[in-house]
Chain A
Amino acid sequence: MPNAGIIGLTVDTLTCRRGEHEVFAGLSCGVRPGGVLYLRGPNGAGKSSLLRILAGFIAPAAGSVGWDGEDVAADPQAHRARLHYVGHLDTLKPVLTAAENLSTQAAMLQEKAYVDTALRRFGLANLRDLPARFLSAGQRRRLALARLAAVPRPLWLLDEPTVALDAASAERLEILIAEHRATGGMAVIATHTDMNLPGAQTLLLEARQRVVAP
């Protein structure tokens, strides 16, 4: 095992194939506890595919994803239980209220959850009893992100989390990520906009991938 002894998330010569199309090949990178990795690159470069591989939803065509030096494929169940994935879809049921949406999601993820705190953190406390179908795009986004605060998990995989967020909400997210990092949490974020996250590394996905210093 080449990554033995390394703490955190490691990606080792990863190849992703979607149908016949090779999205990227030989990709290596890593995130240490407290670290943030930005995924940047043009549309179709494989940012979302990489996030879904890291979440264990897609099996890589070659290479491996490691956690604390162990291949996550050895115990995919344990890997899925240690991460959050927030994608483009808002994961909300229109007939349930904001609080019900978050509490049902949290209950499926973990027995103990901090629903009220999470709603407050994203400024949704006064909307808690409003059915999700009445929420605006930005409010829906905030509610989807609120599960990051409701259920503590060490690895966050975020696919363009700031889309539809106003400046104040984006700042709330940045503060939450900063606190997450302070407790040793990690985040991999695909984004086109600049977020205020000091010390974040950037992985450029294009014809040739490379890790760029902050």
Chain B
Amino acid sequence: MAGFAALSVLLMFVDHVTDWLDKSRAAMTVAVTPVVVIADLPNRSARGLTEMLSSRDDLRRRITELESELTLFKVKTEKMAALAAENNRLRDLLGSAAKLQDNVLVAELIGVNPDPEEQEVVIDKGLVDDVFVGQPVLDSRGLMGQVVEVSRYTSRVLLISDQEHSVPVQVLRSNLRLIAQGTGIDQKLELQHVNSTADIRVGDQILSSGLGNRFPVGYPVGVVDQVVFEPGKPFAEVAASPTAQLDRSRHVLLVFTESRTPEATAFNSGGSDGNSGR
């Protein structure tokens, strides 16, 4: 007994301090992946059932709706492409580096961390899909989090609302740069070290600032919904709610920025930024 206890402690120490065990953990994750998949079955079949039970008319209406939405988005994308090209030409004139295009890979949620204190989800893409640790994850509305652990077929994503997670952000209106930290179960973000004279208001959009080189620039992170200046305190208390639907989204997007392909990441991994992993 004492031997196994000591072994556990040793393992924990090694796992906490080094990344030597990451490979074995990834291998063992493959072994328990069926458990995660089976646990997701009730949810999955419930969704399948609603789909089966929805009527032809409903489905037809949904298809029409989605098609019109798609046309709308296509028009918007074309406009965006033109704007992006123009933007890059202008940046070229100014002599600054061109903005990079981001590629995305769609992944599906297959599990959540059962501990409500830990804001983590498991997705169905892993090493075989070139997912890498530190990869930014979005949903259709905004930034969701980053990959913290990759195994062969699955990866673990730490959400921006986790207490151990921070994102470098900026306020869209005033370009004020801040750090947004998660608060855990209430799925709020806390903007840290906001000067009491800072230009920030309720309703301000906050975007990822791209500082720290982990998250791409300009993705929506949240909306400020509370600003409290308390006299006598050095900083204002500012809370924001995330734009991404952290507890709703079934489909998430993994971002591949050209400069941060797996090779490039391997080259400058251990990146010195404010984002935590574990």
A, B: real partners: no
Interface residues of A (CB under 8 A from B): none
